[in-house]
Amino acid sequence: MFMQHIFASVSEFKEVIVLKRRMWSTLLLGLWLMLFPFFLTFLHQVVLNVLWEDLILGFGIATFSLCRLFARRSEEITMADWIVTAAGFLTLVNPFLYSYYNVTVAAWNNVIIGGVVFLLAAYQDWKDSDAPPVKQRHHKTHS
């Protein structure tokens, strides 16, 4: 019985580590998406037109990935997962929505970053939907 508990704990620990890696990955991809247009402006002045969309989407991805890392309630987890998924999808289709696919480097950056963030976040949404609900802890106050 004791060994089963240890193996279950190790399995849960590995699952948490994988989750944290996915969330840190989306956080870093969001930061990249925020900063990449500033570097590209030195190469292509046209990138200034897409700078704000990438800055906002990257900020959203990074912020809500960080929120997801520290979320404890299932409502917070669900909301953060969905926002990151939506921001990843918007990043993926952004070059086509705003017709800047002729700026090849910026378009490919958005398609790749958006696709990876979208897939990671959608996979995490799917994993969370199969997981048991997070129990909320209530602390009693002592008089």
- pLDDT tens-digit readout, 36-73: 877 777 766 666 767 788 889 999 999 999 988 888 88
Does a structural domain hold residue 11? no
The model's pTM is 0.72
Does a structural domain hold residue 142? no
Does a structural domain hold residue 3? no
Does a structural domain hold residue 33? yes
pLDDT on residue 113: 93
Q: Domain range spanning residue 27?
A: 21-130
* CB 55, CB 46: distance < 8 Å: no
Mean pLDDT of the chain: 79
The residue among 31 and 131 whose pLDDT is bigger is: 31
115 exposure class (CB count in 10 Å sphere: 0-12, 13-18, 19+): middle
